[in-house]
Amino acid sequence: MAQSTEKTEVLQDILRKRQVYNCIECGKCSSVCPIGQINGAFYPRIIMRKAMYENPELMSDGLLWSCLNCGRCDEVCDLDVHFYELIKDLRAACVNWGGEAIYPPHNGGPHAWMKLMTAAERKQDRLDWINSDLKYREQGEVLYFVGCLPYYDPFFEKLKLNTLSIARGTVKILNNAGIEPAIMANERCCGHDLLWGGDVSDFKKLAELNIEEIKKTGAKTIITACAECYHTLKTEYPKYLGKLDLDIVHISEFLSENIADMTLKKVNKKVTFQDPCRLGRLSGIYEEPRNILKTIEGIELEEMQNNRSSGVCCGTSGWLSCGTYSKQIQLARLKEAKQTGAELLITSCPKCQIHFKCALYDKNVKEDSRIDIQDLVTLVSGCLA
Amino acid sequence: MKMLETIYSIMENEDVTLQFPDRIPKQHRITRIKESPCQTACPIDTRVKTYLGLIAAGEFEKAIEVVKRDNPFPGVCGRVCIHPCENECKRGRVDEPLAICYLKRFLADYEFRHGRVRVGKVQRKKKKRIAIVGSGPAGLTAANNLVRSGYGITVFEASSEPGGMLVNGISPFILPNDIVRFEIEGIKEWGVEIKTNTRIGEDISLEALKTDYDAVLFAIGAQKALKPNIPGNSESKGIIDFLDFLKKINHGEAIESGERIAIVGGDRASVDLARSAVRAGFDQATVLYSRSRTEMPVHEHYIQAAEAEGVNIFFQTSPLKIIEKKGRVIGIECIKTEPVFSQFGRKKPALVKDSNFTIKADRIASTINREPDLSSFKEVENFRLSVLNTFSVDPLSLSTNIDGIFAAGDCATGPKTTIEAIASGNKAALSIDAYLRDVPLKHRGQARQPVEYEVQIEYKGQQEQVEMPKLPATERNSLREVNLGFSAEEAMAEAKRCLKCGPCMECDICNSDCDKRLALLYPRGETTGMLLRVQHDTLPTIDGPLNGQLVWDRKNTLPVTVQPLLAEVITELCRGCGDCVEVCLYAAPQLTMLDRGVHISEINKDLCRGCGVCLSACESSAITINYFSDKQIEALASGSLIENKIIAFACNWSTEMTADLEQISDLKMIRVLCSARINPTKILKAFEMGARGVLGIGCYEKACHYAAVPETTKHYRVAKKMMQTLGQEPQRIRFERLSPDEPDRINKIVRSFLKKIEDLK
């Protein structure tokens, strides 16, 4: 008995902090939820209801782990309910009380390697993607934060991802702009997936280790090509570790500023752009990737019907839940992309690319959803003269 | 492969499933078991709760009957047993566990004083005769059982007195020799002949035994102490064979006592040896143990008893070098250690720099290693020996590679405890009996691991253990027994503390115990379910749900429906990618189209073999195997990682060739139907849980029943790459395929793998 009163109090605090009591159950959030449109059992309003009335029972509910944290509901809510932050806090409380994601895809493989990185003595061997024509250093003012790309390629062997081409492309772009970035030999996962999955303590361990490693490089500016790393380093690290004396920059911001000075070849392609949730709605960066695409000669940008703040999530978040609903979200979004007439779908987050490519791995997917996918960095680095 | 019948036990409300099932024989015997944690923990399945209750009621003779049903050595066990039962006793959660070991001793003392209680009787005499080589606990327990089954038993003992380690290796102030003699007499009273001063190979040949007897059981123990593995001249005078030393003390023979002895090792043998040395006249007896006091596998009160007698125990101390002068030992150089958490989460003793110091000693002994003494008979070359130089035996029948010759106890398992030797003797007796009657072996299952139970404990008020009366401290410098034993009143008071746990065995046992091949049975029309132990190793039949009969106590018959292990798709998680369809040799998964244009996989139960290859290929974790889920495999692995073992995932079909490996204590063998069941995530998780190494063992390509060798190869390759990127040595993961024309190869591979892991530390 005592225990559930304590739990109820913790939950009440979370609900108050995230302004859940503002909710008037208007249902706008549910109408824009990508999962809600496919799986009738999940929608933001039902989570609100359960949070307010059922309290601790919500913790063992699988619905808690189905949310994509895409932020579409936050975007449309007029009453300023902080929905995705609510989900994050609820998951943290759930994990703190011994719970965990109910059906993590890949049997929790990605989380396992992220947790293995929390060991301080670990010395990774993660730089063999760097070709001899790429220039980098151990220390420098500008640091390139790579992310988990060296792990995604081998783990998802059958998808033939080659996400490391994003890493090579980024360094090539920076070199072209006259920068030899510092790259950490023992960089840890930014911790995004663990944080959104409620494992705050492991997230903190990764964050502390990263900050320590970054200090050794002497870097003042961190550039990353992953929307999740960007949002995590910029917004979440200060929340848990205090203000950082670092300038976090997404590659699209960097390119947007510097592309005018770059010499680019012409590329004749009609493209469309997938706004990553963590870059767009959660960080407010919409125009920079578009500026870049418009600057490249020969690129014709066609917007999808749902773009910028109404862009639709790639269907899976944090390796916490996946399945037939995610697949349908992915196929619907890919269809939307194809319908623009574009031949190439440009993304700016490796996760979007992985999830879309995984959907297309299914040989039975029809042509109306089949479109080539490429990262913004790969496109730009490919047309550097 | 021998066809083994299955044995069942009663459970509550569960559906039936078979793990690795076979064509089910039509008739099965059922034994009703109601168990409590203490009974489950006991290697010989003693009915602890029953005899504690009888003691509390004052029915001592009935209690003795219960104990002696499976154990002819209650007086021995009541003094030396490591009592895993007490570790599991739920009373320990309230105040202190029941003093089960001391209570058994009380019963033995009672029998010693009031006269022998005969348990069981000799059945109709049989013509066949059995020779047992070795009169230690394993051999004599086997003799005790087999003589009552009617066989003619002759035990051959090399030394002048029977008892083996009981009289040679354990000191009289812990286990008095007259107790051992009394209990051995009890066995002889059934008609067992013990021929002392008869050494195999010298006084009698193995050939003669094979001719004159219908079966031979080796139970010669592990009575050869190995030299301490410490740098320095191992031929120096003063490095003593600790077993020889103990033997002399125990027989009251004169020993060359010196002034100071240093003993390397952290087990009961080393502490007892130190105490014996003090009694034998040594001025100083020191024990060196490389880890801490709490990590020492000796109960605190033994450590305190030793310290009270003047033994110095140096914790966190490792031996570095033997120091000698003119060919004689004068000391041992030591170094302090400190616990360090290695990269893989394990605590290991790390040497502390510049903390060297010397302990003066003129005698050094190490209790760390001993092995069977096979020096006397040449025919040992014909036997297959294991990596530990013990007899390599079939784990179920304890048969050596020579037909009609069996081995039990330390000489088959390597040095283990007394109670395990007794369990081994019981097991050998069953096996030899089945062999001689030419019937299939009814297997009662291996010694079980204690498992977590949810037991409701009413608050009964704190009441600690009744204290064991001891010899006054001033009188302990002799070979007289230190513990004096409970009186009847003390025994009854202690027994009354029992909480009477159990009786239930939740089906969750088999969920985490599935390497014991457990399965559940639900008789048609009954609300009570049953737990099966299945030892068969082939595929489920293609007929789908199987029907069988269960025979209970030879009288009652129950019709049952039995179901094999099956894969199942969780439809919401399936992304319809079709990988499961591609990897399955039996075409069990099929894609069906749903509306909205997506596909979902569905597994045809009649075709599925339960191998789990599709499960490991499914990226969405949408496939699960009933009663053998991934969580269960993880539970098996995590349980053993507490003991810091290397994990070996071995395929079920390799059982014959990998049977020896189950005996290697550093290895945890987890059996899966097909090695392809183990995908990179499971290997990553094993390391995340702290594993030092992962070994995969599977069949060679043509032999794989599921045509999954490419899958397995890929899984281990990806796992290696992942762990390498994470900074781990690639040698910590290995996958080996067995080859039937080189049956010993796997032993060599495992040995080299274990050594490699040790070197990598």
pLDDT computed for residue B51 by the predictor? 84
Q: Which residues, 6+ apart, have CB-to-CB distance to A300 below 8 Å?
A: A269, A270, A271
CA distance A240 to chain B (A): 25
**Confidence label for B347 from pLDDT (cuts 50, 70 and 90):** low
| pLDDT of residue B345 exceeding 90 | no
pLDDT computed for residue B656 by the predictor? 63
> Which residues on A lie below 8 Å from B571 (Cβ)?
324
The label of the residue with tokens 């920079």 reads: A288
CA distance A94 to chain B (A): 19
Burial of B369 (0-12, 13-18, 19+ CB in 10 A): middle
Q: Which residues, 6+ apart, have CB-to-CB distance to B374 below 8 Å?
A: B380, B389
For testing contact with chain A, the best of B570, B685, B713, B732 (most A CBs within 10 A): B685
Of the partner residues A126, A150, A364, the one whose CB lies closest to the CB of residue B576: A364
For testing contact with chain B, the best of A152, A327, A361, A366 (most B CBs within 10 A): A327
Burial of B195 (0-12, 13-18, 19+ CB in 10 A): middle
Of residues B423 and B750, more confidently modeled: B423
| Mean pLDDT value across residues B674-681 | 91
Q: What is the mean pLDDT of chain B?
A: 79
Residue A59 CA from chain centroid, whole number: 24
Radius of gyration of chain B from its Cα atoms, rounded to whole angstroms: 27
Rounded to two decimals, the ipTM of the complex is 0.91
pLDDT computed for residue B664 by the predictor? 78
**Measuring CA to CA, which residue among B374, B440, B437, B378 is closest to residue B407?**
B374
Of residues B418 and B253, more confidently modeled: B418
> Which residues on A lie below 8 Å from B725 (Cβ)?
124-126, 150-151, 154
Token duo for residue B504: 């239930």
Token duo for residue B102: 């001391």
Burial B588-597 (b: 16+ CB within 10 A, else e): bbbbeeeeeb
Under a CB-based contact definition with an 8 Å cutoff, are residues A116 and B343 in contact?
A: no
Of the partner residues B575, B591, B684, the one whose CB lies closest to the CB of residue A323: B575
Q: Which residues, 6+ apart, have CB-to-CB distance to B119 below 8 Å?
A: B64, B65, B68, B69
> Which residues on B lie below 8 Å from A158 (Cβ)?
579
What is d(CA A372, CA A375) in angstroms, rounded to the nearest whole number? Answer: 10
pLDDT computed for residue B580 by the predictor? 94
Under a CB-based contact definition with an 8 Å cutoff, are residues B216 and B156 in contact?
A: no
- Tell whether A160 lies on the interface with B, counting CB pairs under 8 A: no
| CA dihedral for A354, A356, A359, A363, sign (positive or negative) | negative
> Which residues on A lie below 8 Å from B685 (Cβ)?
107-109, 112
pLDDT computed for residue A298 by the predictor? 94
The residue type found at A41 is A
**Measuring CA to CA, which residue among A295, A303, A214, A219 is closest to residue A260?**
A295
Radius of gyration of chain A from its Cα atoms, rounded to whole angstroms: 21
Strand, helix or coil for residue B355? coil
The residue type found at B235 is E
pLDDT computed for residue B78 by the predictor? 93
**Measuring CA to CA, which residue among B73, B13, B56, B60 is closest to residue B426?**
B73
Of the partner residues B597, B619, B630, the one whose CB lies closest to the CB of residue A105: B619
Of the partner residues A115, A150, A156, the one whose CB lies closest to the CB of residue B725: A150
pLDDT computed for residue B523 by the predictor? 45
CA distance A117 to chain B (A): 7
Strand, helix or coil for residue B423? helix
Segment (H or E) for A356? helix A350-360
| pLDDT of residue B283 exceeding 70 | yes
Token duo for residue B644: 């810091």
Segment (H or E) for A152? helix A149-155
| CA dihedral for A226, A231, A236, A241, sign (positive or negative) | positive
Helices (H), B564-622: 579-583, 613-617
pLDDT computed for residue B93 by the predictor? 73
- Which residue from B minimizes the CA distance to A323? B573
- Tell whether A83 lies on the interface with B, counting CB pairs under 8 A: no
| pLDDT of residue B741 exceeding 70 | no
Give B360-397 pLDDT, tens digit per residue: 998 888 887 788 988 887 777 888 888 888 999 998 89
Q: What is the dihedral of CA B514, B517, B522, B523, to 10 degrees?
A: -170
Q: Do A119 and B599 touch (CB under 8 A)?
A: no
What is d(CA A179, CA A251) in angstroms, rounded to the nearest whole number? Answer: 13
- Cα end-to-end distance, chain B, whole Å: 39
- Tell whether B578 lies on the interface with A, counting CB pairs under 8 A: yes
CB count within 10 Å of CB B182 equals 15
Q: Do B688 and A116 touch (CB under 8 A)?
A: yes
Helices (H), B588-697: 613-617, 630-641, 655-658, 680-688
Token duo for residue A57: 């029972």
**Measuring CA to CA, which residue among A82, A100, A96, A99 is closest to residue A10?**
A96
Question: Would you tell me the crossing angle of helices A251-258 and A164-176 to the nearest 10 degrees?
Answer: 30
Q: Which residues, 6+ apart, have CB-to-CB distance to B13 below 8 Å?
A: B527, B528, B529
Of the partner residues B599, B622, B726, the one whose CB lies closest to the CB of residue A323: B622
Of the partner residues B578, B622, B725, the one whose CB lies closest to the CB of residue A362: B578
- Cα end-to-end distance, chain A, whole Å: 69
**Confidence label for B655 from pLDDT (cuts 50, 70 and 90):** low
Residue B154 pairs with which residues in a beta bridge? Answer: B131, B193
CA B459 vs CA B456, B463, B497, B501, B525: distances in Å:
10, 11, 12, 14, 39
Q: What share of chain A is helix, strand, coil (3-state, %, to 5)?
A: 50, 10, 40
Strand, helix or coil for residue B518? strand
Residue A264 CA from chain centroid, whole number: 28
Of the partner residues A117, A124, A324, the one whose CB lies closest to the CB of residue B600: A324
Token duo for residue B628: 């053998």
Under a CB-based contact definition with an 8 Å cutoff, are residues B98 and B91 in contact?
A: yes
> Which residues on B lie below 8 Å from A361 (Cβ)?
577
CB count within 10 Å of CB B368 equals 17
- Tell whether B732 lies on the interface with A, counting CB pairs under 8 A: no
Residues 200-219 of A with CB under 8 A from B: none
CA distance B725 to chain A (A): 5
What is d(CA A47, CA A30) in angstroms, rounded to the nearest whole number? Answer: 10
The label of the residue with tokens 């405890």 reads: B417
**Spans of chain A below 70 pLDDT:** 1-4, 54-57
pLDDT computed for residue B346 by the predictor? 54
Under a CB-based contact definition with an 8 Å cutoff, are residues B11 and B530 in contact?
A: yes
Between chain A and chain B, the number of residue pairs with CB atoms below 8 A apart is 115
| CA dihedral for B625, B626, B628, B633, sign (positive or negative) | positive
| Mean pLDDT value across residues B147-155 | 94
> Which residues on B lie below 8 Å from A122 (Cβ)?
343, 726-727
pLDDT computed for residue B500 by the predictor? 65
pLDDT computed for residue B631 by the predictor? 83
